[in-house]
Amino acid sequence: MAVLSTPRSAVQLASKGRPVREHLFRIALIASLGIAFVFLAALLSYVLVEGWPRIDSRLWENMPSVRNPDIAGAQSAITGTLWVISLTAVLTLPTGIAAAIYLEEYADKTRWWNRVIELNIQNLAAIPSIVYGILGLGIIARTFGLGFSVITASMTLGLLVLPIVIIASREAIRAVPPSIREGSLALGATQWQTISRQVLPASIPGIATGSILALSRAIGEAAPLLMLGAVSFIRFNPDGVFASYTVLPIQIFNWISQSREGFHVLASAAIVILLLILLLMNSVAIWLRNRYQKRW
């Protein structure tokens, strides 16, 4: 709030000078925010109203059923999503953060290959996810022989969100003032000590936010996993990284295309669960950010 109040009062002061333009601009800004917000609110209220009758313990205690929407649940999809996302985080975050540290702290930016890597990472972030699905199917599932398993899904989703993790982590690392590094080095710390004790802790808030955004993208993906053998009917929770699995977006997609109305209600309820998991992840990011935030 403190941050917000300063520019606002500045705007109020200035607006006395040329009120019409200022007001128009402000209305345009609020309208932009409003559009995003109205759509989100509409979607949220729709799934809540539609799914309300089925948001109960059956949803996470029961396994899917094609025979009766009243006893059907999404337990295997919920555990599948948790498995896939946790493993994606474990595989992607260390790799992505390490790559970001290299690119920010060690890489010589005057060398052409480092510039090529940079450009490539930015391009990779824009590739449609289904392409990663094809890549995962050809290389991870078939060439590596990992099959249609949790680990294949996680590795593919990991590749999909790795560019986002790298870009966000680099921004966060770059935001640490150079004076902190210089101070640390001047006191005799090695470069690694400077990075691990000063730069990284200081950039955790930004890295966490970026990583959660990346994982949030991964959790909602269905297209690449359709290529990777996420099944639409499974009555077992994954029992290892090589197990068959399904995830919530696929379960939702499957229920929506059923003919019986009861399954459409279930789909909405499952969307609410997916949103809750997302919200939970975002809250963790906010908590991390607040806990580690430093001001210089």
Partner 1 sequence: MTSGQRRLSAAATAAIVVALSAACGGTNTTPPAGDGTATASQAAGAELSGQVKADGSSTVAPLTSAAAEFFAEEQPKINVTVGTSGTGGGFEKFCNGETDISDASRPIKDEEKAACEAKGVKFSELTVATDALTVVVNKDNTWAKCLTTAQLKKMWEPAADGKITTWKQVDAKFPDEPLKLFGAGTDSGTFDYFTDEINGEEGASRKDYSPSEDDNVTVQGVSGSKGGLGYFGFTYFEENADKLKAVEIDSGDGCVAPSVAAAQDGTYTPLARPLFIYPSAAITKKPEGVAFLDFYVGNISKIATDAKFIPLNPEQEAKLKSDYAALKTQG
By the criterion CB under 8 A, which residues form the site for partner 1?
Answer: 60-61, 63, 65-67, 75, 79, 82-83, 86-87, 90-91, 142, 144, 147-148, 151, 155, 226, 229-237, 239-244, 254, 256-260
Closer residue to partner 1 (CB): 91 or 275: 91
Q: What is the DSSP string of 78-130?
A: HHHHHHHHHHHHHHHHHHHHHHHHIIIII--TTSHHHHHHHHHHHHHTTS-HH
Specify the residue, 114 or 232, whose C-beta has the smaller distance to partner 1: 232
**Which of 52/233 has CB closer to partner 1?**
233
- Least distance CB 252 / partner 1 (angstroms): 12
**Rounded distance, CA 107 to CA 99, Å?**
10
In the complex, the smallest distance separating the C-beta of residue 64 from partner 1, rounded to whole angstroms, is 8
**Residue 90 Cβ, how far from partner 1 at the closest point, in Å?**
4
Q: What is the CB neighbour count within 10 angstroms for residue 143?
A: 9
Cα separation, 9 vs 15, in Å, equals 10
Q: How near is the Cβ of 156 to partner 1 at its closest, in Å?
A: 13
DSSP 71: T
Burial (CB count within 10 angstroms: exposed 0-12, middle 13-18, buried 19+), residue 133: buried
Q: Min. distance of Cβ 87 from partner 1 in angstroms?
A: 5
Nearest-5° Cα angle at 93, 87 to 96: 130
Instruction: Give 79 or 211: the residue with its C-beta nearer to partner 1.
Output: 79
Measured at the alpha carbon of residue 17, what is the angle toward residues 14 and 22, in degrees to the nearest 5?
65
CB of 74 to partner 1, least distance (A): 12
Nearer to partner 1, 8 or 235 (CB): 235
Distance CA 46, CA 272 (A): 10
Distance CA(234)–CA(37), nearest Å, equals 36
**Residue 141 or 199: which CB sits closer to partner 1?**
141
Minimum distance from CB of 47 to partner 1 (Å)? 16
Nearer Cβ to partner 1 (213/256): 256
